[in-house]
Amino acid sequence: MILAVKNIMKICMSLILVSAYSNIFSQELYAEIITPSSVQNEDVLAIIVKIRNIDQSINKYVNGEFQVLANPANLEYNIIEIIKGVGYLTTKVYTGHDFAISIDSFEGEKLISYVNEINSSFVADQINTSVTWYPDSAYYILEDLTILGNACLTVEAGTRIFIGDNVNIFSFGKIIGKGTPENPVIFQSLTADNPWGWIQFLNEIDTSDFQFTIFTNGGGNDAFLFGHSNSQPVIMVNNSQLNLNNCFLISNPGKAIGGLESVIDINGCLIASNDTGGEYQSCKTSIVNSYFLDFPDKTNTQVDDDNDAIYFYGNSSNQLSVIDSCIFIHGKDDGIDHNGANLQILNCWIQDFDHEGVAASNSNAIYIYNSLVKNCQQGIEAGYGSPNVTIDHCVVLENETGIRFGDSYYWGCSGQITATNCILSGNFDNIKNYDLLTQGPVPDAIDISYSLTNDPEFDDGLMCINGVPLFDANYFLLEGSPGIGFASDGKDLGLVDLNLGYGLEFFNPVLTVEVYPNPVVSSLYIRYNLKETLSVYFELVGMNGNIVKITKPEIKFSGYELKVLNIEKLDQGVYFLRVILNGSTYQTNSIIKLQ
């Protein structure tokens, strides 16, 4: 059954690829365009595009460059690159009329109003009581702004905030950004040539929260550098709490996010073309269903200023950070740099990084499961110090080195790599054990079993084999390939979860829901984030409308929760998930049940 499903997926993928480049099938897909709903002539316009299937899931098979059509306006740049169904562009717009933006070859458009004159509100240097900003004015911050501890700044959907050269916001209170897909909030520089500074959160009690908010051309103030890449974060969380839900940090000269001993939740976000994607020092960080692209930019110029997509450092409070169902593509340094953190990487796609796809070092532990690492200098590395690296059901291919113990420093390596159920293939050197300090391999540093190793030094490990894997387009094994049914758990070697980087998204004003894996075999995970205290329960509904499973109603406070449903007794088929909040029903995307 699983093989049949994989073959069907392969056929469907071929059709989808055709539809991405041909109007013949364009009705099968549509472009969701997230951008401000009104502009003035010569504004810098930030555009985010998600190519969606009819069921609203992002189509990860769409890749390539497409023309952005703006009728009857003109754009300075009008080509957008779509990577796994998502793209972004910042461009100057020239217009004297209302116009519509669309993406060539796809259904869907965004109507944008031309505004000749705009109401201007100039913000003083201090907010000392709770206020709300509305989209009937553009707000101009021309000097550093401080929000006092008893104040809450609420920014309504569609509001635009223009920030002056090197100007910062310091929040000892709370900020709530209430953007929507149709009317995002945007923080941008007053002029394109002069980036603004940061928003620093300094409230140890309350949690700030942003949804559908764009942050662009920030992090440019050299007086507030943070972290090992020596740049200012656009968002700095200092001993505080922050939720980012469907937010977009694009085209910033600084790093996207900085965190210091904070709790940070990132869900459904796009972080692209920043100095780095973020640096988290002794933080508890959850990153789900998000894209990390192009660090520091799209060019292939050889620049390396520690431009990691994500960098973790230390773990003073022994917190566990999690990266789940995320996509990392293209950077001048590492995809994910673990440096003394405790970290889990689940269901991720990591590709095209000049150094490591995943780099572990210093101390503590990292666990990598059901993830693909491709076309990096090193796929997965345990470097200096004593990091404990566990790799399970991963595919590591087409890197210079697949799995590496040791690094490029003479500092000594005394950690451990334990790999099971993995596929190593097409790397120049599939497995390497070499410590520069000792000028040789470290005994027993790599324990690899139940894997397709393709390395003479490790092919005789416990239940290890060599051979050429036969992959489908998603890097799952095809029938007849070495490694079918060969894993220690009876599954295939390599990837086992069809949800690889493909988490479902669901959004409404009070709730976000992630459902994974999809398709699902036995246990369905529902991770949800409430904006307020509500009664919550879930229903699984068959195609005939019958409720096949229902959970007990529970009162849940605001914040993230995880619900696990055992559905191994259900028949194969398609089911819908309903969420009932205080008696009101919301329906998410479909769930495909496999056996």
Cα–chain center distance at 339: 20
As a whole number of angstroms, the distance between CA 145 and CA 164 comes to: 11
Quick check: is 42 in a domain?
Answer: yes
Residue 476 resides in a domain: no
String of DSSP letters for 113-179? EE-SS--EEE--SEE-S-EEE-TTSEEEE-S-EEE-TT-EEEEETT-EEEE-TT--EEESSEEEEE-
Number of folded domains in the chain?
Answer: 3
Together in a domain, 46 and 182: no
pLDDT tens series, the chain, 595 aa: 333 333 333 334 333 333 333 333 344 789 999 999 999 999 999 999 999 988 778 888 899 999 999 999 999 999 999 999 999 999 999 999 999 999 999 999 999 999 998 889 999 999 999 999 999 889 999 999 999 999 999 999 999 999 999 999 999 999 999 999 999 999 999 999 999 999 999 999 999 999 999 999 999 999 999 999 999 999 999 999 999 999 999 999 999 999 999 999 999 999 999 999 999 999 999 999 999 999 999 887 766 679 999 999 998 777 889 999 999 999 999 999 999 999 999 999 999 999 999 999 999 999 999 999 999 999 999 999 999 999 999 999 999 999 999 999 999 999 999 999 999 999 999 999 999 999 999 999 999 999 999 999 999 899 999 999 999 888 999 989 999 999 998 999 999 876 666 555 555 556 667 777 767 778 888 877 777 788 889 888 876 667 888 999 988 887 778 888 888 888 887 777 888 888 777 655 556 666 5
CA–CA separation, 236 and 223 (whole Å): 14
Q: Does any domain span residue 177?
A: yes
Number of C-beta neighbours around residue 405 at 10 A: 22
Q: Closest by alpha carbon to 346, among 363, 326, 329?
A: 326
Phi, psi of 5 (to 5 degrees): -65, -40
Closest CA to 579 of 527, 546, 538, 524: 538
Query: Do 83 and 225 belong together in one domain?
Result: no
Q: What is the pLDDT of residues 416-443, one digit of tens each?
A: 999 999 999 999 999 999 999 999 999 9
Out of 278, 312, 333, pick the residue that ends a domain: 333
Q: Are residues 82 and 130 in the same domain?
A: no
SS3 call for 16: helix
**Same domain assignment for residues 64 and 158:** no
195, 296: one domain:
yes
Q: Would 446 be classed as within a structural domain?
A: no
The CATH number of residue 23's host domain is 2.60.40.10
Distance CA 390, CA 397 (A): 17
- Residue 246, phi-psi category: left (phi > 0), alpha (psi -120 to 50), beta (remainder): left
Beta bridge partners of 23: none
Q: What Å distances lie between residue 256 and 162, 250, 293, CA to CA?
A: 18, 8, 12
Residue 153 resides in a domain: yes
- Whether 35 and 112 have beta carbons less than 8 Å apart is answered as yes
Show which of 114, 138, 155 is a domain's final residue.
114
Verify that 515 and 540 share a domain, yes or no: yes
Examine the fold and report which residue of 114, 135, 154 is the final residue of a domain before the chain moves on: 114
Q: What is the CA radius of gyration of the chain?
A: 24
Stretch (H or E) spanning 2: helix 2-20
Name residue, tokens 């092919």. 459
With a CB cutoff of 8 Å and minimum separation 6, the contacts of 584 are none
> Do residues 218 and 97 share a domain?
no
* Beta-carbon count within 10 A of 187 CB: 26
Q: For residue 146, give its domain range.
A: 121-333
Domain-embedded: residue 7: yes
Measured distance CA(343)–CA(462) in Å, rounded = 27
| Residue 116 CB coordination number (10 Å) | 7
The pTM (predicted TM-score) of the whole model is 0.84
Q: Is 224 helix (H, G, I), strand (E, B) or coil?
A: helix
Do 209 and 309 belong together in one domain? Answer: yes
Q: Are residues 220 and 142 in the same domain?
A: yes
In the block, residue with structure tokens 């056929």: 11
Q: Indicate whether 200 and 290 sit together in one domain.
A: yes
**519: cis peptide before it, omega within 30°?**
yes
- Confirm whether 492 is domain-assigned: no
- Omega into 509 within 30° of 0, i.e. cis? no
The reply to whether 491 falls in a domain is: no
User: Is 183 in the same domain as 316?
Assistant: yes
Clarify whether residues 11 and 126 are in a common domain.
no
Question: Residue 3: helix, strand or coil by DSSP?
Answer: helix
